[in-house]
Structure 1
Amino acid sequence: MEEQEIYLLITRYLQKETTTEENEILADWITDSVDNEQTFEEIKLTWQHTEQIKLEESTIALARLKNRINHQQDNKAKTKKLVPFKWNAVAASVAIIGLFLVGLFYLLKPNDSVPTTYSVLKTRAGEIKTITLIDGTKVSVGPKSVLRYPSVFNNSERNVSLDGEAYFEVSKNPHKPFKVNTGDLTVNVLGTHFNVNASRNQILTTVSLLEGKVEVNLNSDKDDAYVLKPGQELTFNRANQRVFQRNLDSLNTLGWMTRTLNLSNDKLSDAAVKIENMYGVKLIFADQPTADTRIYAQFNGDSIEDVLTIICASGNLEYKKQGNKIYLNAK
């Protein structure tokens, strides 16, 4: 891919106009060499400063960048050479100049330090959001969850933090591991599909692997690593510091993404947490026996009214709905 084409692709990516296939192409190009990665990060930083730069200053920056690239090309004997920069094509493309050259003045200033900026994605009860990170990794964030991620990953690793539940489809990069920190544990991957359920409000933290390979480290004991294979999951109990590793049930693991819930002799109080997150409601029990009622039922995208009707039929209960509050008691 010629330099003009890759620069156009980068600017379209920064405008959130690229397709999933284009994101994968860009991710492959970035990981192809250190030079590509540095070029991408420079353009990304430039984009962040665009609104702060005067147009006449960008002209100076453009000349300085041209001299810099020409100088680098003369010293590329030991490294992969870049395709000669087509200044005529760039000059003719107003879109390219406007999108990523404005602001290079600040970028090229000596001793200019740009701190990493972070974004936070939050979801409400009953809400699911999907985001594509700068490296092409796709993350589906579950209800009542918080994902914190950097605008640009550093040169050695890709770190994000999670409070709640999310499903990750990590873009492969053997030179830059992807890490998810939950507070209790850290998941280390290169490129894979997995689910993490780790809320500060619950005792259990679970990592479920659907595809690829992951390594899980407890933050309290980073010397002890647990390797998961596809179809396995690891659960950490914060209360007693115990670790459990077993085969996963993909239907239950990813049920939150499609409002699928399979209850097989589950306590209603245990199922209540999932129901509340899925539908944005609050279940209130009349007494402990009601909360301990065992339920047999399966739901797949049903309305909250249908879910309550089936639960009550299974457990010989009745309910009353007031706003988002649902009161349950025995008949």
Structure 2
Amino acid sequence: MHELQYDIPVLLLHNINPEWTSEEKQETGQDVAIFGNALNELGHSIEVVAVEDDCLADRLSVFNPRDYVVFNWCEELPGVPHSEPLIAAVMEKMGFVFTGSSYDVLALAHDKPAVKRILNEAKIPTPLWNVFDNTEAEDWNIFPSIVKPAHEHCSIGITSESIVTSPAELENRIAFVLDTYRQPALVEEFIDGRELLNAVWGNGKISMLPSVEMDYSGLTDLRDRLFTYEAKYVPGSRLYESIDMRVPVELETSAKAELERIVIAAYQATGCRDYGRIDVRYLNDVFYVIDVNPNPDINPYTSMTHAAAEVGYSYGAMGSRIVNLAAARHPVFSR
């Protein structure tokens, strides 16, 4: 990639849900300020746009799409379930160039069975799977397994109870997903191996940042060896405090090359743009893709931030590179 342009104006778009606690709102505000300041220190002018309701078009209407690249740090329109793709749809309709993947790819990521089919068709290793819209799962005989809502993200619906080891547990967990989330259940073979989070960036020329390993070595219970919602987002919880991030990852040179091949293949097969994260489990010399995230979090403490730092990118430079990738599609800032 060319030398980074630091004079590209950025609209930093993020969501704040009015239903969040004051602590959650404060934490989000701090993260946004840290990221905005990191970009600004490099030379990017920053306008912060907080999305607090479903009126995104109104919030953006005062800005000219020719004057900015939007950094899309939104995961939802507050109060609108499964609305992450809609944010991209609004910006596409209004003519804004924004970081990250398109509406189509963000919508695909919310359809886990569709992603699994793409991986299967591309011959990219992924755990054996099936989808159930009722509790009749007599034909499934692979245990342990993991049961997930088929159309959620951010580990929503994934707890220690998602791991099942018998037909009875499987039936009960499928019933829980059907009743709680009102959507089919995705059942996969549970790969009880090393978990590697792999940040990827680029368009055309794509590269993988150093892998980050979720270290479960201190957890002996099979059901705890899982990056659940609690483990990701609840500081002070047992799992949050028990799981460490390790970077760099210790792998043989040949294994690293195979991991990179699989991760980049998954990024390309699902149409990710600018940046994304491919989560993998490694067992018996096979890297299994377990999740494709085209809109990963990039707060100062996430795996992508740690991976970028490992190869010399400051927090601001990581963000600037993503801005520059998007700017290549901009009518004014492309070069």
Q: TM-score range by the shorter chain?
A: under 0.3
- Please state which structure has a larger fraction of its residues in strand: 1
- If the length of structure 1 is used for normalisation, what is the TM-score? 0.24
More contact order relative to length (CA 8 Å, sep ≥ 6): 2
- If the length of structure 2 is used for normalisation, what is the TM-score? 0.24
